[in-house]
Structures are given as structure tokens and as C-alpha cells.
Amino acid sequence: MSTYTKQEVKQLVDGTLAWDTVHQMISMPKDADRYKLYMEVIQEKLSYKHKVIMALGPHLNLAIRDGDEEIHAFCDCGKDFGHYKGNWKLNANIYVRDTAEKMDQVYPRLMAPDTTWQVYREYSCPDCGTMLDIEAPTPWYMCMHDVQPDLKTFFEWVGIPAPKKI
Amino acid sequence: MTILETLKGAELGKLLKNGLSLDENRNGILARASETGHYDGIKTLTLKEKDPIKYERIFSKVRAGLVNSREVAKKIAASPIVEQEGELCFTLYNVAGDCIATSTGIIIHVGTMGAAIKYMIQNNWEINPGINEGDMFTNNDCQTGNVHPCDIATIIPVFFEGYLVAWVGGVTHVIDTGAVGPGSMSNGQIQRFGDGLQITCRKTGVNDTPLRDWLHESQRNVRTVKYWILDEKTRIAGTSMIREMVQETIADEGVEAWDVFAMEVIEDGRRGLTSRIKAMCIPGIVKTVAFVDVPYTHPDVAVPSPFAKLDSIMHAPCAITVKSDASWRLDFEGCSRWGWHTYNANPTAFTSGIWVMMTQSLVPTERVNDGCRYATQFRLPKGTWTNPDDRRTAHADAWHFLVSSWSSLWRGISRTYFGRGYLEEVNSGNSNPCNWLQGGGINQDGEIHAVNSFETAACGTGACAMKDGLNNAAAIWNPEGDMGDIEIWELAEPLLYLGRTQKTNSGGYGKWRGGNGFETLRMVHGSCDWTMFFMGNGYMNSDWGLMGGYPSATGYRFEAHNTGLVGPGGRIEAGKEIPLGEDLNPDDRLWENLLGPDAEVKRDKQCITTEAMFDNGDLYLNYLRGGPGFGDPLDRLHSGKQSIEEDLNENYILPEYAKKIYGVVYTQDAEGVYTVDSAKTTAAQEQIKKDRIKRSVPVKEWMKTERQNILDNKASPQVKQMYASSFALSEPFLNEFKTFWDLPAEYNLLESSLGIPTYGSTKTMDISEMPDCKPVIMTEE
Ligand SMILES: [Zn+2]
């Protein structure tokens, strides 16, 4: 099994890792301590005190909330998106591109969806304006609850004691 | 005289040493697997543990033999689909029809040919028509597990010392099967009865010799006879080589070792998948969804039956459950109904196709075999497009729906790779690989012809979480991306290239952008009575983008007739400027200025059409799609490699959209080279973030207005059709919908209320209702 340094994992996250190493990561069996190093790398970039346990996106993480130790989703700016068993999207802001004019800001008209078939739903952080996810469903569609992790099993798999309030 | 079901003298139980019939033998394997959770109840890999070198030696011989046979056999084919694109595959099965190993190529057929073998087993082919050394069977029946009729499989049994020890299957994607529409994945037909020649596990050869009645009948039922003949020779040569290889391997290693190996290797494959899931994924539930537009009310879609004339949307929601034992379950509850078009899929096409994708991420090894299927539970509700309950369905372009739904699975499973740090495996979901340029008539050699351009095998890939997607590189259904050589396509098709270039602005934006697709402008040349049509997404897109990245661009159609380009006095003869292949911003309509005054141009979102007549000198744009993006575009590097500046200088993006999406501020020198002003760009991006906050609303506020739209029934007919068909098939989906939107208990939307044709929605007849037919069912329904 291959191993990588924390510096290499940081470079992976930053998109600056040498291609040879990336290629090795892709072609070799996975390194078991990746999760641990990845969490350290993410934590060091953040200014909040909550302890990160899983990444939902480049700027959105599940973390153990400082104080009550509940697991919530947090934007990098510190905005709390609610308990991990709920859907963080319900606490986000949304901008729906549901007209041809709104789509004109994204693609030439002939290369954009027809909004009577499909709309874009742009979910962003109400505090810092970071784009957290974009859905492209038909009108009326439910907000997707993308990931509902089984944290108990996950921590067994990575061989680390689970947080108290999973 | 009575009609007997058994051939005279034939007896069950003569093919295997254990005296069981093939069906009894397979049922035993299934029972032991379901009892123990291990393939055939194999808890210990005896051969692998006791004699690992022998085990690996057998595997290597088999795998190398499969790959080598494919490479050699490929040279026999003349069809560029096979010879250039490698649309062929050879697979070795054990006596139960479970895959031991496969060659490179379109490995979806691991499952489809396996299903055909299982069909022969389950329906007692051993007593009628008989299974003997030297026999050849041919299958392409979509009701027997094939993806679409153009994938023709030749399957042969392998005997050793008088007993059946294995099966070998070879498949090629042929150019034409004599469907209503010319081309291998055509539309126009809406039922099986127009979908081309379908052969159901027919014995087509004995004593290693194809039967003359089969040759005569099959050849006159397709348009492209020469390709058809050479494709069959390709399959026969490849399967024969593999049979010989297997017999030599058994002679060297001993038949006892072979018998153990042929079962253990599948249990080994099952364990391989679960260990990889445990190493890379996050247990729990991931939900995804995909959609595809089926715009059939447009006048350029000519169908034979009025009940097919409606706009509809394919709906494919999926709940992926990664379980604590590291197996997984894919549940497609809520899918929309099958339809009167050629995009229906059967469960085997759906489930075995998943491995084409998973070998590109989850199991990127040569060890993919049927073990993966035993580690996966699929649930494909009966009556949906993934599991039609009617034997009339057409399947010629099943891929259109299949790849779209898989793209969302790739995106979903990527969320779990990302969550625990395997960023290098993330794919935002590939493009729906299209357009499919198809058509036919009389070609430049004066022969009856059909075409299906496989340039599609090189679309843009989705962005990764640590790098951009690749431009014009790959397709989800064939890991060996290749657009093919222009010179070969010009030999195969009466279509000259006026240009071939990457398609600017077709990839989705993001921190890492999706790969761009490409575009080729073709001019009809030297043909007679020629037709072509379009096949792709247009009004909507099946991919979404991931974690803040944008979906890729949708498709559009460009075709031009009566162009004034060729002939006496034409623009070419006059030395005037003509369209040369780069439709930079399609909204600018620049090509229209370079055609004769009487040109008729179709430039719109209607990306599915049926046969239109094309004269020599007419134009057709083949636009192959881009892939979706990853992450907030405002995180993209300003300059350097994989940056906004590179996008501008390499023509990957139109400057107008670089400003709108990335907020880029740049200067341009006399040579046209862009330089990004990073400080001003950062300031502009801060403003974009403020604008986002200002124009957006809290999701819970927006939900109130959207809920009112639902109660007021405010949506287009196609959107309503989609929901009504999913509601009718799935109470759980209806309930989930009602709960999410907090709708009244009595809420429903009925297909019958929509004022559109609903043929097939109330009464159907399944293949299982045919006389003497036991279909192979390998999924939950
Ligand atoms: Zn924020």
C-alpha cells in the first residue's frame, strides 16, 4: 500500500500536486491514512473552532460544533447550515435561473437549457456568497439531499473512534 | 403427429460431469450464493490460497488471450466503428454463464452476453436446439438482455474431453440492423417491430461453419452487407481463438484446477469490489437524479404512430446505499415509464453497463467480472424505462437514457470519494456523449449504405476535484476514447470535413472546468438519395456539475440545405468564403452569411430528428458535447495552467462568458493574446459574491412559491407528463414529493388529465407472457 505526506495531500487539495504523484494515487491501491491527513489539511485552512470530520464540498464541511459537540454542516465563513442528518440546502440561499434571460448570463441561448424543461438552482451561502452547489432539474423538483452518511460505520472503516453525538 | 419440445435423442444432464442439467447447475449456484453471501457458497478461495501462482497463471493466460484475440480479430473488420473505435469485446464465461474475465473494449457486454447464455440455459437449449462442440449461437435480442439490436453477439460453447467447460462470447457494434431508420442507433421507429433484425440465441453455425440459411437471411435484412459479413468473421475468429486458448490452458493446468478456478475467480471479483468500496466510499445513502428530453411534437420528428407524438422527459432518480458490509444497493424507485421511442433499456443493459463506468473509477482493474454483480443489489421497478413491462418496446438508442442516468451515479459516488479525501477519483459526471450523426441512402461508391459516426467516443469529460476535465477525450460507454481519423470517416461516409475543432464554451464552468467537446462540419459529397438525422440532448442536459460547478452546455442543431456552395456558379467555384468548421458563438449565426441566397438553414434546439433529405453540398454540424464543472467558478486560478487566462488564450471559453461567470478583467495585445488583471478580477469577483447574496432568497422562502406553482399546476406539458408517469408507477415517489412540498394528502397528477396520448400506460403485455419463455431476471423489480 502506498503512503503520502501531509504536504502531498495539501498539494492535492490545492491542485498543485505533481502529475506523477497524482497518477500513482490513481493507479495504486488507496492509502489508508488519507482521511486523517485530509482532515488535518482542511482544519488548518479554517478559522473556526469546530472539528471537521467530513468534506461536503470545497467550502462546506461536516464538523463537531464547538461547545455542544453536535455535528453540523459549516461553510468556511462559519455559517452554520444545520444538523448533519438534515439537508444543508434548506438553510442556504437559492437563485433559480428559470427564464431565457437569466440563462443568457451563463450560456449562449442555443447552448443553454430551455427553462420550460430544465432550470438551474444555484445554492449559495447567505453570509459570504460562495456557490455551494448547482442543481439542474425540471421545475417542481425536490431539493436533492445528496449525502446522508452512516457515520458510525464510517468511523469503523477508517479505524478512528467516532464522535460522541453521531 | 405431435410437436415435441425435445430433439429426438436429446437428453438433459449430458453436458456436465456432475450429471445436472445446465439449469439445475445454475440454480444450485444461485441458491448457495443467496444462502451464504458468497458466490456459489465459496467461503475459502482454495486454489488462490493453496497455489496462488497457478491461480494467477491461469488468470493471466485467460486475460492475455482475451485481449490478444480482440486485437487480432479487430483487424478483420472493415467497419470503422469496430476497426477505429474498438467497439468490440470478447468475454469468457463459466458453464453457468457467469463472466470469468473479459477483454478490453465495450465491456457492458460482460452482462449482456451472459444474459443470453443464461437464457439458453434456463430455456433448456441443451435439448432443443442442442449444444454441441462446434456450435455457434447468435443473439442481439433486447428482450434477452441485449442493450440495442446493433450489438451482435456470437456465442460458442467450449468443450474439454466431451464436457462443457466454458462459454466464449464476442460482440461487435454493427453499423446497421435494418431498422426503419438507417444507422445503428436510429430513431423514427417506436416499437420493436421497426427496431431492426432481432435474433434470439439462434443456432447459426454447426461444426464451426455458419449455416447458409442464416447467412442468406441475415445479410438481406441489413443495409451494410459488407460490414455485416466482416463483423461476423471478426466475432467467429476471435471466439475460436479464445476457445483454443482455453482448451490449451486446461490441458496445461488440469481440468480439476480449471473447474475450481472458473468459480473461485468470480468470488474473488466480488471481494475485490467490496474491499474497494470500503477503501474509497462513505457508507450511507447518496441520492442522485438525471433527466433527458424527448421532444417528439416537433414536425422534424416523423413517427409512424400518432400516440408517439408527445414531448416527454426521462426521469431517473437513484438512491445509492453503501452498506456496512461494503456491498451496495442501487434503487431506481420513481423512474418514469418506458415510452414510444428507441431509448428504452432492459435491466441487464442497465446493470452490466454500470461496470463500464465503474472500471473507470471504482474498480479500475482487469479483474472486473460477474463477481461485481454479486456484490451489488439493483432495484429497477417493473414498468419503468429501465425495466419495461411490454414486449413492444424499441431499444435502438438505449444508450441515450443509460449514459444520462449513469452520469448522475458517477457524480453521486464522487461525493463520497471527495468526503474522505480521494480527490483524484472525483468526476463531476461525464457528458451525455452525443450528437449521433446517422443516416443512409446510396453512398459515394453507389452502394446501399448507412452511417453512424462514432466521433462521439471523444466527448469532454467531467471536471475532477483537482484538475480540469479533458477536452474531446472520452465517452462514458467506452473507456478507450477515440474520435477516429478524418480520412477513415471520409472513406466510410459520403461526407467531407469542412472543419474539426474543439467546441468553445461547451464544458461546464468551475474551479475546475469540464472538458470541452468538439465540432465537425460535414458537407455531403458524392451521394445519391441521402438522408441524415440528429440524435442528442438539446432542450435539457443530463449532467449537473458538482459542488458549485456548472452543468455543461446543452446541444443545438445546425443543418443547411440548398447551400449554393457546390456546382457551377457555386461559392466554392467562385472562390468565395465558405463555412469552415468553427461555429464560435452559435447565437451570432455567422455561417448563414457564407451561404447562397436561397439556403435553408435549421439552427435550433431540436436535437432529435428523423430522416431528412440531404443533397450533395448540404451541411451538417456534428457537435459533440462537453463535460460538467467542479466547484465555485470564482475559485478558478486567474493565470497559469488550468486558469481563466488559459481558457481565453486557448479559445476554451468565449470572452463574454468569462466575464459573466468568472468576473475576469483582462487586456488583449495586438496579437490577440489575453492577459488577466488579477487585482481587478478579484475585485470584480467580490462584487459577484455580493450580487449572489442580493439576488438570492432563502430556500425556505422560495419553496413557498414553488409549492404554489405545483398547486396551480403551472409547468410545461412535458414536465407534467414526467411527474404523472412517475407518480403512476411509484407511490413512494409520490409520497416523497407530497411530503417535501407539504401537499394535501389527496394531491396527485394523473396522466389521463394531461390531454396527451397515454398509449401503454394502462394495459401492457410482458415478454414473460410469451409461450414457453422463461426470461432471465437478475434484479429486484
Ligand atoms: Zn459562507
Q: What is the pLDDT of residues B168-215, one digit of tens each?
A: 999 999 999 999 999 999 999 999 999 999 999 999 999 999 999 999
Instruction: For residues B530 and B442, give the distance between their C-alpha atoms in angstroms, rounded to a whole number.
Output: 6
Same domain assignment for residues B31 and B155: yes
Query: B452 and B414 in one domain?
Result: no
- Flag whether pLDDT at B455 surpasses 50: yes
CA distance A110 to B557: 9
Burial group, residue B209, by CB count within 10 angstroms (0-12, 13-18, 19+): exposed
How sure is the predictor about B330, in pLDDT bands with cuts at 50, 70 and 90?
very high
pLDDT grade for B149, boundaries at 50, 70 and 90? very high
> Helices B212-220 and B225-253 sit at what angle, rounded to 10 degrees?
140
B171 touches B151 (CB < 8 A) = yes
Please indicate, yes or no, whether residues B129 and B217 belong to a single structural domain of this protein.
yes
User: Does position B1 have pLDDT exceeding 50, yes or no?
Assistant: no
Say which DSSP state B36 is in.
Answer: H
Q: From chain B, pick out residues whose CB is under 8 angstroms from the CB of A120.
A: 550-551
Q: Are B555 and B435 in contact (CB under 8 A)?
A: yes
CA atoms within 13 A on the CB side of B57: 13
Angle made by CA atoms B378, B108, B103, in degrees to the nearest 5: 130
In-domain check, residue B3: no
Contacts of B541 in chain A (CB under 8 A): 113, 118, 136
B359 pLDDT above the threshold of 80: no
Please say which residue of B607, B631, B655 terminates a domain: B631
Residues of A in contact with B538 (CB under 8 A): 114
- In this prediction, residue B302 carries a pLDDT of 97
B542 shares a domain with B463: yes
Nearest to A147 among B286, B604, B700 (CB): B286
Best CA proximity match to B619, nearest among B596, B639, B637: B596
Number of domains in chain B: 4
* Together in a domain, B416 and B431: no
- Cβ-Cβ pairs closer than 8 A, A with B, add up to 259
Distances (CA, A) of B227 to B89, B224, B375, B449, B599: 17, 6, 39, 10, 35
- Sign of the Cα torsion B773, B778, B780, B781 reads negative
Distance between Cα B662 and ligand 1 center (Å)? 18
> B79 and B213 share a domain?
yes
> Which residues in B lie closer than 8 A to residue A143 (C-beta atoms)?
699, 703, 740
**Using CA atoms, how far apart are residues B532 and B614, in angstroms rounded to an integer?**
7
- Look at residue B566 and tell me if it is in a domain: yes
Cell of B257: 484446477
Summary mean pLDDT of chain B: 95
pLDDT at B3: 59
- Looking at the structure, tell me whether residues B411 and B434 fall in a common domain: no
Residues 541-580 of chain B with CB under 8 A from chain A are 541, 543-551, 553-556
**B14 inside domain:** no
Among the three residues B251, B270, B289, which one is the final residue of a domain in this structure? B270
Beta-sheet strands, E only, within B224-370? 284-295, 311-322, 328-331
Lowest-confidence region among A97-106, B68-77, B190-199: B68-77
ipTM greater than cut 0.85? yes
Residue B578 is predicted with a pLDDT of 98
B273, B468, B546, B547: best to mutate for the A interface, most A CBs within 10 A: B547
Q: Is A147 within 8 Å of B419 when comparing Cβ atoms?
A: yes
Do residue B147 and residue B47 come from a single domain?
Answer: yes
Q: What is the pLDDT of residue B4?
A: 62
Q: Is residue B275 part of a domain?
A: no
CA B15, B16, B21, B22 torsion: positive or negative?
negative
Q: CB–CB of B547 and A114 under 8 A?
A: no
Shared domain for B385 and B333, answered yes or no, is yes
Pick from A110, A134, A144: CB nearest B605:
A110
Of B454 and B701, the structure prediction assigns the larger pLDDT to B701
Per-residue pLDDT tens digits for B488-534? 999 999 999 999 999 999 999 999 999 999 999 999 999 999 999 99
DSSP calls for A15-63: T---HHHHHHHHHSPPPTTHHHHHHHHHHHH--S-SEEEEEEETTEEEE
Mutate to test the interface with B, among A89, A133, A134, A148 (most CBs of B within 10 A): A134
When mean pLDDT is compared across B36-45, B271-280, B750-759, the lowest value belongs to B271-280
Q: Does residue B564 form part of some domain?
A: yes
Looking at the fold, whether B384 and B478 belong to one and the same domain comes out as no
Rg (C-alpha) for chain B, rounded Å, is 27
Cα B765 to Cα B778: distance, rounded to the nearest angstrom: 20
In angstroms, rounded to a whole number, what is the distance separating the alpha carbons of residues B689 and B478?
40
Cα separation, B271 vs B260, in Å, equals 17
With contact defined as beta carbons under 8 Å apart, do B527 and B494 qualify?
Answer: yes
Distance (Å, whole) CA B263 – CA B46:
11
| Residues B691 and B703 grouped into a single domain | no
CB contact under 8 A, B700 and A120: no
Q: Nine-digit cell at A134?
A: 448547482
Nearest-CB residue to B291 (from A95, A118, A134): A118
**Residue B1 belongs to a domain:** no
- H or E segment to which residue B499 belongs: strand B495-502
Interchain contact, B692 vs A91, CB within 8 Å:
no
In the structure, what pLDDT confidence band is assigned to residue B85 with cuts at 50, 70 and 90? confident
Residue B7 belongs to a domain = no
The residue that leads in pLDDT, B582 or B80, is B582
Find the domain containing B567 and state its range.
427-631
φ, ψ for residue B428, nearest 5 deg: -65, 0
Q: Which residues of A76-98 are buried (b: 16+ CB within 10 A; e: fewer)?
A: beebbbbbbeebbbbbbbbbbbb
Q: How far separated are the first and last CA of chain A, in Å rounded?
A: 30
Q: Using the 8-state DSSP alphabet, how is residue B459 labeled? A: B
Q: How do strand B328-331 and strand B376-379 relate by DSSP bridges? A: parallel
Partners of B535 in beta bridges: B608
CB atoms < 10 A from the CB of B759, how many?
A: 14
B541–A118 CB contact, under 8 Å: yes
- Establish if B455 belongs to a structural domain: yes
Q: Which residue, of B220, B242, B270, is where some domain finishes?
A: B270
A87 CA to centre of ligand 1 in angstroms: 16
The DSSP bridge partners found for residue B495 are B524
CB B179 within 8 A of CB B186: yes
State mean pLDDT over B425-439.
92
Q: Is the pLDDT of residue B2 over 70?
A: no
d(CA B384, CA B336): 5
Residue B502 is inside which H or E element, if any?
strand B495-502
On whether both B54 and B201 belong to a single domain, the answer is yes
- The mean pLDDT of B392-405, rounded to a whole number, is 95
